[in-house]
Structures are given as structure tokens and as C-alpha cells.
Structure 1
Amino acid sequence: MRLAICEENWLFASVVAAAFELQGHEVVTTTDDPRQLFDGTGRRPDLYVLDSSAVTELPHRGDRTPYVVLLTDPQDEQAWDAFDTGTADGVVSKTCSLRTLLEATESVANGHHIAAGRPAADRRKQQPVVDALTARELEVLHLVVQGYNTEQMARILGVSRHTIRTHVQQVLRKLGVHGRGKLARAAADAGLVDVQELIEGGRR
């Protein structure tokens, strides 16, 4: 795997680069300047490992690659928001071990979304929202996680597509996420669904 690393602390960036190289990965760029990283002159990496301060410099990724893993302080809300909105594919707190960073990065490169070291308070803040979901909204949530589209859900539940769209918007609002693709993780974090069980029993 080819990686590009951008971290404002140059010593830390060097340690991270050395750790990846010891695992057999190729580090094509190590810098503390995100503008240098995204100027388009270097070799295209498979994955960026970035200090969270570089998130505002990220170019548009139409094909979702290179993947992006942010290194952040636990209380940096901008980084966790970038993960929640899909701007970043993974976030790893700088309080985590290098082993955790390596494993999280390899997991992201395999198509997974990883948040390591997220403060537990974030999950506690979601709990009142969970209590506000109605029984029908829970049904819709389960169907969304299983991969059903609006028309299919309307047929299954015997309601109009407009009603389904309204329920979906309510679920998105109450779980505090933007886009159906983020619902599964938010629902699993809140203990609302067993995502693996739903996927295995659904259409995927």
C-alpha cells in the first residue's frame, strides 16, 4: 500500500512513516504542509494519513480514493464530524497506539470505516435521540440498513413513498447524521441494531 503522510509535528510524522515502512508499506510523501501534499506533483497514494488540521485542504474525491485517515486529538469535533459526514474514511485518536493506527489504516484500505479512540461521551449524547425513535421509524431504520430503497420500503410497509421519505428524514435528524450511508454505524453505536445480523438476513 502506498501512503502519503501529513502531520504538523514532523517528529511524529517520521515515527508514523517508519512504522508503516516496517510493515512493508511504501510511504511516498511525508510532510507537514497539506498544500504540498495535494499539489498534484507527487505520486498518487492509495491512502492519506493526515493531521486533522489538513481536512479543510482535502480535494474532492469523486471515486472515494485515495482513502483518508485522520489523526486527531480526542476532543477535536471537526475530525469526528469529517468522519460522520464521509469526508474521512477513518479517524484515529493520537492517544491510540501505533498498532491501532496501523490496523485501522489497513482496515480502511479494505473498504471499512473506522473510528478509533472516539470519546465515549459522544455515544452517551446519542442516547436521548434513540429514545425518541418511534416504532415505525425503527422499522424504516432496519430496512435502510438492509439496503432497501424507498419504493421497496413503501411496498413492504404498505405506505406511500412520500411517507417513507419523511420517516427516513426523521431518523436521519434524530440520529444526527447526513445521508443513509451513515445510518448503519450511528444505529450500531447507539445499540439500535445488530448491523451484521441485519445484513446477513437482508438482501446484501
Structure 2
Amino acid sequence: MSVRVVVADDQELVRSGFSMILDAQPDIEVVAEAGDGGEAVEAVRRHAPDVLLLDIRMPGMDGLEAARVVCAESTCKVVMLTTFDLDEYVYEALYAGASGFLLKDVRRDDLVHAVRVVASGDSLLAPSVTRRLVADVVRRRRTESAAEPSPTRLAVLTAREEETLRLLARGLTNAEIAEAFVVSEHTVKTHVSNVLSKLGLRDRVQAVICAYESGLVVPGS
């Protein structure tokens, strides 16, 4: 079964270029293109894609607002496109429910890989990038709200699931967690799935954010 993708960018050359690269893959199908956030939302509603590549900066409804709508209304995974690796909107995009972000100058192979990874339910952010982004997100939120960590949210997890979440937040892959636990990767995938389900999270990015916000992991640790 092909991964169904919508590409949304107000720059036609970027949009068509990404679409051509993805459509050339035997397991990926670009079902629609959109030139702004409003069109992207309508395309997702109409075509029910697996992945939406969404530019952050667009006229009319921007990518951030479109991401909020899409993530609230569907199970479509959103990948934000940006020209800056530390674009301030990336932080808000993660909170809106995006599964990660790509720079617009991404290499062809990395673009294809990212779509496949996100469609499979994983995060496309490299562990080091995830940790940096999430740590900054949490610092900003706590500074703004002076909120205290709330570990009670994690009470629904077993001890092994909580430890799995801790290692996820530190950037370990499933293979590395399996090695630490001395279990199979399949077992780790089950733990990760349980963590996401019990905490009502979309993907690993949100799991990492939750780990920081709950105080399970402290930025810089």
C-alpha cells in the first residue's frame, strides 16, 4: 500500500519539486498539492493522506494554523517545511501536533526517508535535534507559565514503560533501548506503543515533550 502525501507550499517550484521526487517512488503517491494553509486543510479532508508536508510561512492561513486544524481533525502526520533550522515557529509547530520538520534544502534521499519514517508512526527528527528543540520548548513554556512538573500524568505507566519514555527523551533509538533492556526491538516497539496509547500522544516527538514537561527528564541531563 502506498504512502499518500499532500504537499503544501506557496512556492510552486518547491512544491512541484518535492512532489516529483516523492511521486517517483514506488511506495509513495502524491495525492494533492496546495498553495496555502486553507488549501492544505481542504486537501487533507478530501484525500485523507498519511502525511502532509506543510510550509510554515504561507499567505492567508499559515502552516502553523493549518497544522493545528489537521492534527485536531485527523490522524494525518504533519511535517513542517522551513528555511531555518531554528525557525521560532518550529517550537509552536511541535505543540500543534507536527511530527517534526524538514529544511527546504533537504536532500532527495532524506526527503523520501522522512516521509516513510513519519508514515510508519516514528519521528523524523534526529535525536540531537529532538533534545535541543524539546528542551527549548519546555524552558519557554515553564518561563511563561511558571508551571511545576506534573509527574502524576505518568502514573498510568508501568515501571518499564516509564523507563522507556525516559530513554526516548534522551534520544535513544529502539535498537539502543533494546540493548539497554536486553530485550528484542519488537518488545521495545510494544513498550513505545503502550506509552503513546496510555498518554494519548501522537508520536515520539510528543512523547519526548511529555517526558520533559512532566519532569521525568530535565533539560541538559
**TM-score normalised by the shorter chain: which range applies?**
0.5 to 0.7
Q: 1:152 to 1:20 in 2, by over 3 A?
A: closer
Verify the 8 A CA contact 2:99 2:123 in the aligned structure 1. Answer: yes
The 2-side partners of 1:64 and 1:108 are apart by 15
Which amino acid is 2:42 matched to? D
- Between the aligned partners of 1:79 and 1:56, the Cα distance in structure 2 is 12
Distance 1:74 1:195, change over 3 A: same
2:114 aligned partner, one-letter code: A
Task: After the TM superposition, list the runs of 4 or more consecutive aligned residues in structure 1 that deviate by more than 3 angstroms.
Answer: 60-64, 116-123, 180-186, 198-203
Kept in 2, the 8 Å contact 1:74–1:94? The answer is: no
What's the offset of the Cα at 1:152? 6.8
Q: What SS does the aligned partner of 2:14 have?
A: helix
CA drift at 1:62: 5.1
- 8 Å CA contact 2:49–2:76 kept in 1: the answer is yes
The corresponding residue for 1:45 is: 49
CA drift at 1:188: 2.2
C-alpha spacing 1:107/1:151, structure 2 compared with 1 (3 Å): closer
1:84-104 CA deviation, whole Å, 9 max, x = no partner? Answer: x36111211223212111101
Aligned-pair CA distance for 1:121: 10
Aligned partner of residue 39 in structure 1, secondary structure: helix
Looking at CA atoms only, which structure, 1 or 2, has the larger radius of gyration?
1
**Offset of residue 49 of structure 1:** 0.7
Match of 1:76 in 2: 87
Any conservation in 1 of the 2:64–2:96 contact (CA below 8 Å)? no
Q: Note if contact 1:70-1:92 (Cα within 8 Å) is conserved in structure 2.
A: yes
Q: CA deviation at 1:30?
A: 1.0
Structure 1 counterpart of 2:217: none
Mapped contact 2:71–2:98 kept (Cα < 8 A): no
Aligned partners of 1:19, 1:103: CA distance in 2, in Å?
11
TM-score normalized with structure 2 length: 0.55
Distance of 2:167 and 2:10 partners within structure 1: 33
TM-score when normalising by structure 1: 0.59
Change (3 A) 1:117 1:20: farther
- Structure 2 spans left out of the alignment, 5+ residues: 58-62, 140-150, 192-221
Distance 1:115 1:68 in 2: 13
Question: What is residue 104 of structure 1 aligned with on the other side?
Answer: 114
Cα distance change of structure 1 residues 6 and 117 upon mapping to structure 2, 3 Å threshold: farther
CA distance in 2, matches of 1:52, 1:181: 32
Cα contact 1:92–1:116 (8 A) shared by 2: no
Q: CA RMSD in A?
A: 3.9
Distance 1:52 1:152, change over 3 A: closer
Q: What does residue 169 of structure 2 align with?
A: 186
Question: 1:145 corresponds to which residue?
Answer: none
On the 8 A contact 2:7/2:52 being kept in 1, the answer is: yes
